[in-house]
Amino acid sequence: MKIVALAGGVGGAKLAQGLAQTLPPEDLTIIVNTGDDFEHLGLSISPDLDTVCYTLAGLANNETGWGRAGETWNTISNIEKLGGPAWFRLGDQDFATHLERTRRLKEGQSLSQITSEFCKAWGIQVTVLPMSDSPVRTMVDSDEGELAFQEYFVHRHCEPRVKGFRFDGVEAAKPAPGVSEALEAADAVIFCPSNPWVSIDPILGVVKEINKPVVAVSPIIGGKTVKGPAAKMYSELGIEPSALAVAKHHRSTLKGFVLDHLDASMEEQIRQLGLATLVTNTLMNLPTDRSRLANDVLNFIGSL
């Protein structure tokens, strides 16, 4: 069964790893959000691509979910001592990724080429693609005006109240090479448990149409997110955060929806949206949870 998974952030990376442990490498393509990308300290930083790749390669920091395991912080500490911006915590090992990515982009390589070569270097066998090679930048409309995504997320700790989102550059952005081909060849598409507003929506903004059965895994469990601001965003946009709200958000694209046991009382309402449902344990606390959830989702897709 050929699968395309859309992912962004820590939850997305965890299920992507579960899928990579379950499917033959040639059957899995992971399309990653690049709306969080930004230029900082003169470097091109792609946080979601790096989170997915570090996780797949077993290099990720399991406590933060982002950045590298066993990291040291000498460079950023010295930048801070010199009075430079240190709010975005780049570790010494992580710096190498951004330096080398930036060097290659300046030489004219595309983000998808660079990602493919980094994946090879890190021993990643599945295909990881950025959603686009052209810049798309998520902008957060807030009660303090429009903020660039990392300014809102990391620098301002998601404190400004959200009023909406804009994906700068999305109209001109074409899917990266391989994205449309992977979707064409796929038997099904999985939305990983990633933020619907700022991880999945930017990818859909580039891809525009998916003509394959799509199953989404809810990133909201019991009205809360495991990590990240999705629940807070729903509340500030006047929508009660819930698995049902996520199902409604993606409703026009979905065939199936995976929700946690904790939200089983919403199953009927989600079915009434016309979606098939799977109620399972969607928390991925332990490494083994990732492949267990991947198996559950793949069996669910097989049953549709």
| Residues binding ligand FO1 (CB under 6 A) | 8-9, 36, 47-48, 50-51, 66-67, 88-90, 94, 150, 153-154
Shortest reach from residue 193's CB to ligand FO1, in Å: 12
Compare residues 154 and 276 and give the one whose CB is closer to ligand FO1: 154
At 76, which amino acid appears? I
Shortest reach from residue 196's CB to ligand FO1, in Å: 13
Shortest reach from residue 200's CB to ligand FO1, in Å: 11
Shortest reach from residue 8's CB to ligand FO1, in Å: 5
Compare residues 18 and 35 and give the one whose CB is closer to ligand FO1: 35
Q: Cα-flanking dihedrals φ and ψ of residue 8, to 5°?
A: -160, 140
Compare residues 22 and 132 and give the one whose CB is closer to ligand FO1: 132
Compare residues 101 and 267 and give the one whose CB is closer to ligand FO1: 101
Strand partners, 72: none
Compare residues 127 and 225 and give the one whose CB is closer to ligand FO1: 225
Q: What is the DSSP string of 153-217?
A: IIITTT-SPEEEEEEETTTTPPBPTTHHHHHHH-SEEEE-S--IIIIIHHHHHHH----S-EEEE
| Cα separation, 36 vs 195, whole angstroms | 12
CB-based burial, 62-80: b 16+ in 10 Å, e otherwise: eeebbbbeebebebbeeee
Shortest reach from residue 261's CB to ligand FO1, in Å: 26
Compare residues 8 and 219 and give the one whose CB is closer to ligand FO1: 8
| Cα separation, 192 vs 11, whole angstroms | 7
| Cα separation, 215 vs 278, whole angstroms | 10
Shortest reach from residue 77's CB to ligand FO1, in Å: 13
Q: Is 108 helix (H, G, I), strand (E, B) or coil?
A: coil
CB-based burial, 39-60: b 16+ in 10 Å, e otherwise: eebebbbbbbbbbbbbbbbebb
Shortest reach from residue 288's CB to ligand FO1, in Å: 24
Are residues 224 and 231 in contact, defined by beta-carbon separation less than 8 angstroms? yes
Compare residues 44 and 280 and give the one whose CB is closer to ligand FO1: 44
| Cα separation, 301 vs 255, whole angstroms | 9
Residue 27, both tokens = 């059957």
Shortest reach from residue 212's CB to ligand FO1, in Å: 25
Compare residues 73 and 273 and give the one whose CB is closer to ligand FO1: 73
| Cα separation, 195 vs 227, whole angstroms | 10
